[in-house]
Each structure stands twice: as structure tokens, then as C-alpha cells.
Structure 1
């Protein structure tokens, strides 16, 4: 099952002849954009994921946030947090998280590295959370096993129903005549977690906000993801409108959780 996950995820790779022409990293993420999402989450701290973390978190408890980014999934719990342990590969993301943790009076321990490579140097927490990360993880069973091993009470995952780049499928076909896979999905994540012996609970709901507020934002992101220069933005906008992609429908998100053994 884990091998099927790895194979399905591998099919999302960008062909080398397309990637070689990319003017910018098609897989890159902006700490500034992530920080904006965190600030929105701090302004309106609600939703199923936060609720599932909060109900398992004792007052002054600890949260391990793997793939923490700038802290959108964990910092809104500042009032209950004793310590936040944040793991991420990006120093820029962790810097944004630390800055906000300081403002909120949250004790934050940051560990730069990839999970589960840094699991041995990471403390155990009351609750372990990983939000919008699993579709970047080829060895999902090992990832979840170490995540569960670092949670005294509960593990919580947040993810989209399908691969987060699925929205680009019509544009890949339009600009590169390239089809995109339909798997893996959240149901594959649930199956792998259950195969590891966990009783997985889930809740599904619409994403709290649209992926993009403006067509220009869609075009900027699509150009980078499609390995096109930003000078192609108007073409992307025209294609998105012609393909009836705008406005993008809200994504369906899932919160998964299970109790630690």
C-alpha cells in the first residue's frame, strides 16, 4: 500500500524537458504568503483541525507541528499552548513562525529539517499535528509512524481531498498537453494510517477561503507551477476563463485524527 502511494505521488513529477525551462522553482513556497495565511488564522482561530487539537491538549500542553510553515495550524492555540515544537525544512518559514510566537508569548522550539529524518532529535508532545504536508511525503508510513510515536495523546492531520496541485490539471493540458494523475487522495492516507493500526476519524468541510482572491494571483501562481515565465500571465488568465476555471471552487479539506496508543 505504501509502495502504491509512492508510485502515485511520483506521477506528479514534472517532466525534465519542461522543468529545465522553468524560470523559477515550480515547487517553491513563499514564506510571506504562508505568513499571510497564518495571520488570517490568528485573526479567526476556528475550524475542525484546531478543535481536534484543542480538545486533546491539556492546559499548558505541548504541540508538535511537523511541516509547520509559519504556524497557521498551531499558533492559533496560543492561549492553551505551553510549548510549540515546530519542524520545517525552511529557515524562512521558521523565522516567520518564531516572530509570531514571540508576539503571542508562546515558547517555540524550532527544528530545521525533514521529517522523519529529524525525529530522533525531536521531543515528544501531547499532540502532533501535520497540516497540508502529506502530499509531499513519499514514505508516508514512516512519516506517520514517527508522528504517532511523538504524540502522547493524539495525532491530527489536515489535508485536501486530492493532491493540492489538482486545480492546475486543465492548464497543464492546455499549455503542455500533459495529463495529471487523479491519485493519491485523502482516502489513500486514511487506508495507510489504518493499516498501521490506527482507528482513524475524519471530518470533511470546504476550505475556509478560496485559493485565490484575484485572477492575477491565480496567474502568478500558475505561471510558476507550469514552468512558464510571468510574461505569460495574460495567456494564463485567458485560458483559465475559457476553461471555466474562474472562480475556482472551494477545495474540500479533511481533518483526520487518531488517539495515541
Structure 2
């Protein structure tokens, strides 16, 4: 694509990739991290006993109501919070996740909820040949984990027989940590990608999703020590500095958690 003067313009997909690459943890910090800053606790992604009535769940139920087999593919399934919110609506769930502990938690949850399932260990969209297609493809809070959002989203569409429901934060969920990267590492992080950037990528692919913007219910209050330990790991700091991190969190005058604003994209292939 070129401007009228012949100067190449950046596509939405290229802009997304550049924004994500610019926010990568610097190699010299990552090399000395005592633990991976990308590891997540599966317990934080468990399905709620009473699934919240969100726009994402309502969009998913509508897709299943229009399907015959009522099969679900949960991309980046974590411990199954998205797909197991559809117990009673879905007949079979396939969960795919690149983290073995997350996939194990998904399997345990499916057994607990008596949900027929298949678990696939792998990254998206590379895992598509192993997952196959489904009536409904879900993807909750994984978009900001990929630099190639165009290929990722195209894979979601390719896997869906009836519809796709994708939920993300309104802005990068780790952007609230930017002041702490500056405080502890002297790293000033650039502006994060947002849901509007993601929408531009989808539009560029020819996808015209229904867009619903909403506010999530607050998460349960987390134990301060557990929270400080989690943020310490996120910041690539050793565990013995958790006290400093706890103090920084307690005295920070800005956001100290991801934003509550969510965006649901839903579309039919």
C-alpha cells in the first residue's frame, strides 16, 4: 500500500506488530530474570461457579443457538473460564493452550464440570490442524500475547463454522505496570496497543465484527503478599525484592491493576 506520493504506508497489522515488539522485555533484563515474567497462575483463570452475564457470553450463546453440533474451540483456553461459562449450552469443548499447566487445569475443570473435552497443547494458529473446526471459536484475553494478530485472527475465522467471539481489554492489560518498569529498571515503555488497533487489524482482514464495549466486575481482592510476588515476577525482579514492590504498589498514585474496560468482537465467517 502506498500514499499518493508513492511512500509506503504501514498496514494495521504491521502497526500492531511494531507496537507489540516495542513493548517486549529488553533482552538484558529477561536474561537475568529469576523466573519467566510471562508465566500465569492457572487459578486466576478458573471458571466461575456462576458464570457472569457478559456481552461475550451472550454473543457465544447466540452463536451456539444457531449451530447444530454446539461444539466450542477455546483458543488460549487457560483454565477454561471462557468455555466452561457455556456449560449447559455447549456439547463439546476443545481447549488449546501453549502452557502445559494451563491445559492441565483446563482438563481438570472439564472433568469437574462433566464437560466432554479435548485438550491440545500448542500455539495458535499453528495448532489449527490438531484442533480442527468448531461451531463456535472463543478467544478471551490472548490477543495482546501475539505479535502477528492478522494471522492469529485469520486462524480463528478459519476454525469457526458458525461464529467467533473474541474478548480483549480496551488497552494492553500490562500497561499499568509501565511506571514500575521505569522505577525499578529505568525502562520507559512506549504507548501500548489498544482494542482500536486490534479492530483495525480485523477490518484490514475484511472482518466486520460487532463491537461491544463494557466494564467487567472487579476481581476478588487479592492477598497483598501474593499480589506483590506476582508483580515482582512480572517485573523480572528476584523474590527478595517483593517488599519493595509491595511498598511501590501501596504508594503509587496511578492504576495498580489492569483496566476494567473490555471489548467483545464477534463475527461470522
What TM-score does the superposition give when structure 2 sets the normalisation length?
A: 0.89
Q: How far apart are 1:246 and its partner, in Å?
A: 6.6
1:51 matched to which residue of 2? 58
Is residue 174–residue 258 contact of structure 2 (8 Å, CA) maintained in 1? no
Is residue 171–residue 259 contact of structure 2 (8 Å, CA) maintained in 1? no
Find out whether 1:38 has 2:46 as its counterpart: yes
Spell out, residue by residue over 1:150-203, the C-alpha distance to the aligned partner (whole angstroms, 9 max, x if none): 111111111111112111111111111111122311111111111111112111
Q: Which of 99, 119, 122 in structure 1 is aligned with 2:131? A: 122
Is residue 62–residue 127 contact of structure 1 (8 Å, CA) maintained in 2? yes
Provide the C-alpha distance between the structure 1 equivalents of 2:198 and 2:220, rounded to a whole number of angstroms: 22
Superposition pairs of residues 145-184 of structure 1, within 5 angstroms? 145-184=154-193
Superposition pairs of residues 26-105 of structure 1, within 5 angstroms? 26-31=37-42, 33-34=43-44, 37-39=45-47, 41-58=48-65, 61-105=70-114
Q: How far apart are 1:239 and its partner, in Å?
A: 1.7
Q: Which of 201, 205, 222 in structure 2 is aligned with 1:213? A: 222
2:18 matched to which residue of 1? 7
Paired residues in the alignment total: 256
Spell out, residue by residue over 1:115-172, the C-alpha distance to the aligned partner (whole angstroms, 9 max, x if none): 1111123221111111110111111111111110111111111111111211111111
Spell out, residue by residue over 1:219-256, the C-alpha distance to the aligned partner (whole angstroms, 9 max, x if none): 11211011111211221122223322476475211111
Find out whether 1:19 has 2:39 as its counterpart: no
Q: Rate the CA distance shift 1:112–1:249 in 2: closer, same or farther, 3 A.
A: closer
Q: Rate the CA distance shift 1:12–1:98 in 2: closer, same or farther, 3 A.
A: same
Spell out, residue by residue over 1:54-100, the C-alpha distance to the aligned partner (whole angstroms, 9 max, x if none): 11103750111111111000111110111101111122212211122
Is residue 30–residue 236 contact of structure 2 (8 Å, CA) maintained in 1? yes
Provide the C-alpha distance between the structure 2 equivalents of 1:16 and 1:45, rounded to a whole number of angstroms: 39
Unaligned stretches of 5+ in structure 1?
A: none
Provide the C-alpha distance between the structure 1 equivalents of 2:259 and 2:27, rounded to a whole number of angstroms: 31
What TM-score does the superposition give when structure 1 sets the normalisation length?
A: 0.91
Stretch deviating more after TM superposition (116-125 or 68-77): 116-125
Is residue 173–residue 259 contact of structure 2 (8 Å, CA) maintained in 1? no
Provide the C-alpha distance between the structure 1 equivalents of 2:88 and 2:120, rounded to a whole number of angstroms: 22
Provide the C-alpha distance between the structure 2 equivalents of 1:250 and 1:117, rounded to a whole number of angstroms: 30
Q: How far apart are 1:16 and its partner, in Å?
A: 1.9
Provide the C-alpha distance between the structure 1 equivalents of 2:265 and 2:220, rounded to a whole number of angstroms: 21
Is residue 211–residue 250 contact of structure 1 (8 Å, CA) maintained in 2? no
Stretch deviating more after TM superposition (243-252 or 229-238): 243-252
Spell out, residue by residue over 1:7-49, the C-alpha distance to the aligned partner (whole angstroms, 9 max, x if none): 1101111112222221111111122x23xx324x233342111
Runs of 4+ in 1 over 6 A off after TM superposition: none
Is residue 131–residue 159 contact of structure 1 (8 Å, CA) maintained in 2? yes
2:239 matched to which residue of 1? 230
Q: Rate the CA distance shift 1:211–1:230 in 2: closer, same or farther, 3 A.
A: farther
Unaligned stretches of 5+ in structure 2?
A: 1-11
